[in-house]
Structure 1
Amino acid sequence: MTGTMRAPRSRGMLSGLLLVLLALWGGLIPFIGPYFDFGFGSSDAWVYSTDRLVLSILPAIAVGLGGLILMIAANRPVALFGGWLAALGALWFIVGNTVGQLWNSSIGQALGGEARRVTEQLTFFEGLGAVMLLLSALALGRFLVVGVREARQAERERRPVDDRAGPEYTAVPAQRKRGHFHLGRQKAGAGAGRERHTRH
């Protein structure tokens, strides 16, 4: 059971790294985007609001933390927790802007022309969240599957000590089963009796 709990760190390294990079984008782009006329609401950079906290910063923290866990975790349940945390943050990027309208949450209108506004909507929220969710799902799938090498390692750990011993140790019980040692002892005892009889 212990062997199946372990997983190689390389299994979630790439997905975790990409999730961290995307989380940095999702958390910082609302503040630095206005430098390039790319954003929502105000054209001034580094403008903080509660709506940006809820819709961009918090989900970015969840995705980034989940990605870090995937990068360093060598324990399967821990890695799965990181994957689910990243997936929940990604899901909020997708639906948060729509759900936020229920409490009149608004980050303002997208800047620029029609094509730019579509690009901003996708790269800030829905499209960004979809890519994050895909990477999270791939990482979860990799950690949910137990590799052949891990299964063999777990099987070796479950075996008794005698079964894990080498051939030089397993040969003794096999010979005892065939009665070789009993015959040898009988012959040795008979030889010793004849030697004592000859001396007398």
Structure 2
Amino acid sequence: MAISLQKGQKISLEKSNGSSLTNLCVGVNWGAITKKGFFGTKTVAVDLDASCAVFDANKKLLDVVYFGKLQSTGIQHSGDDRTGDTDGDDGLDNEVINVKLPQLPAAADQVVFVLNSFSGDDFKTIPFASIRLYEGTPTQVNSIHAVYDIANDEKFAGSVSMVLGKLYKHNGNWKFSAIGETTKDKKLEQTVKTVETAYL
């Protein structure tokens, strides 16, 4: 049974059989915007970008994985999705970041996941958006560990950047913290700087 995460909630990456989740996919799913016009409604594609930044215990940035750099040690990005679900929620993730925890650099202490609206559409206007942590691959979901709904919310109005959550080491074990907070940033580089100063 998948955990339904709340903002600020922290969870261990322990499976129901007691073993640790080591190969983790963080999938982001979102919908296209329906706009009403003079001649009826039309569906407008939304280009969101899921990225992650890896930091060491001294809060030093080690690497960033995003649509322009799809791979790092222990991390693989599925690639850029520029439209979202234009025909309603198909239940599949639009972008997936696969993290193999044992393969991360030894110095890695936190992996922070962020979402930026490349198309400039603010998060309040997007009909649905969620992230989920699961075991499997970008094309196959074996077991969903946790789901975090970040659907349109009044407090998201005007924001095009969001800190989704982070993997972090605690007493040698990896845990996940759901953050779900928008930032004032417009670009990924700025969002990573905000993470460095406020979310580590």
TM-score (norm 1): 0.27
Q: Which has the higher strand share?
A: 2
- Larger relative helix fraction: 1
Q: State TM-score, norm by structure 2.
A: 0.27
Based on CA coordinates, which of the two structures has the bigger radius of gyration? 1
